[in-house]
Structure 1
Amino acid sequence: MDLPIVDFSSWSASEGEASRRRVAQELVNACQQVGFVRIINHTLPEATLDEAFDWMKRLFALPEDEKMKAPHPEGWTVHRGYSWPGLEKVTQVKSTAEYEEARDRLREVPDVKEVYDIGSDKCATQPNQWLPDSSLPGFRAFMSQFYWDCDRVGRDILRAIALGLDLEDIDHLTRKHGGNNNQLRLLHYLPVPAEDLENERVGRCAAHTDWSSITMLFQDDCGGLEVEDISRPAMFVPAAPVKNSIIMNVGDLLQRWSNDRLRSTNHRVGLPALPDRFVGLSRMTRERYSIPYFMSPDDDSVIECIPSCMSEEEPAKYEPITRANYNKMRAAMMY
């Protein structure tokens, strides 16, 4: 299974309604069939992406005591700041009771990664946990701007999806996404003995779906992302990194909005594909850096079936729920 590729240049250049509609339909077709798509020729400059990865590497190279000046707050309510290896455990359980039962078993296989989460400084419910400027001068200013650069590109993708779903109002989705509930994640997967991953003594990121509307992912050249092949459940295939492309996937909220027309597909991070899987005779995995950006609606936005995805023959499958209540349900099971 290869990820579908959508060339976004026609959308960005405003070459006319027919060109934009073709891009929109290609995007929606990919979201229906795979749930993942590789977007090329988007409007985030290569230099900006290179700088983002450079800042991230400098961040995670800091001594532990410096990174701990912006710790992830205790518990799951605030999802910001630095998460040290072992704090976060990605799971796909769907209820608090199920998580409570499985927690000890899940914690036996820690996720060996460190994370720094960033949001909008205007989001009162999710206050950022910034490092002091003295720890990494310029980091906060760049990442604050990068956050909104990603939001701009994500809004164009949401408009294209709306057009591809035949919504009369192209801003039906973007109006529910003010930008202040998005999440920018800086991810560093640490080198570990390949044997520990192969024998499930440690993990990188277990199979899961995202609880956003859409996710945009930027990867380094290491690889390791795997996407479930929906024609062969439980079979995962590599999604190879391609420099400067965006891997975009449907999140759970957009699947609910679209009445399951668009797919929120399972994915995970495992061993990189050969031949660059290991470093040295000790079979240590390469470290991996990636940047997912989650587009999420405003807290009071109601997630309910959009008009073009329902009919008398195909009524809405899900009860309406606010984004805030859905997030509480999922975030409580993350930490």
Structure 2
Amino acid sequence: MAAPEEEEVSINRTSSSPSCDTFSSNRNSVTLGTKHSSILSSSFADMEQRISLLALKNAEEDDVGDSFAERAEFYYNKRPQLLALLQELYTAYTTLSDRYIQTVAKHHKRQSSVTSTLDSFDGAEDSGISQIESDAESSLSYQQVSVTSTKNYGMVDNDAFIAELVIKNVEYDILTNEVTTLEKQCCDSSRKISLQKSLLDVLESERLILLNENARLGYKVESLMEENKGLVAESVFMKQKAGEMARCMLKLRDDHRVYLLNQKIEDLQGQIYGLEKRNKEYYDQLVKTDKAMVESRCKDSNGKEVTLEACFQIGKLKSKRNVGVVEKTSNSGKKTYKWWAKVKSMDMFLCGHSTNPT
């Protein structure tokens, strides 16, 4: 590179120059350079502190849990700091570019001023030579003084210019170092931004997955609601069927009660018929026994003659028995009729109809 060669040439020239003015100018330029370097070092220290904080946070990032929610929350909390650092880097980069442009412009201006001074110096030499040629008598003494003065002036200007070039080269190196550090920081920030973008892409994909899952669950809920409506309608239908079955059971119970009552009535009728038959048999037997007794009384000793009184007594007895039998039969008919009326009016099932189908 040309910068270190120029630095070596400037150092050799400054060491070989014996003038004190050159040393003072070099010292002033070095003090100005140290002032600029102190400002730059303070800015470097601030930037290094911020980068160290980010490095510590990156080290803490490894201790974050493996779950996606924890990492997302960590990056979400870290995002404002990254944006602030990017903004600061952008402003620093713009200021550095402005400084670089200004220094380049100043360098060109100074080069133009140096060339103008050299041209004026050449013109002064030409005028001195012409003056020496015109005035031959005093040329030797004046030429020696003018030549020594111009030589000293040219050496002073060259030393100052070389010192200024050295300072500018140092500033250029400092600025290049700042630019490289800022580029590294920009690369790191761009890498982090890419990571943030990838994280946002992952979050967006998860959001889409959750939206699809939500839609699927919504469709499932709708299907379940429709199924519930169908079950409600089926339950209403089953309740109607249960009511119909309960009414059928009540009807069957009433029919069963009627059937039982009919059976009881038939049994009672059979008992009445048996009692009437037995009563008739008893009556026939009684008539036979009475007839045999009357006949035995009406007979004489031979059993062939019958008195009139005995015949009349037999007639009376028959009439009395016939009256008693008629009264008994009428009384028994009345009793059976009253008994049958009581059976009809009697409630065999005092509990009544059951409204509960179960």
Smaller-chain TM-score range? under 0.3
What is the TM-score of this pair, normalised by structure 1?
0.19
What is the TM-score of this pair, normalised by structure 2?
0.18
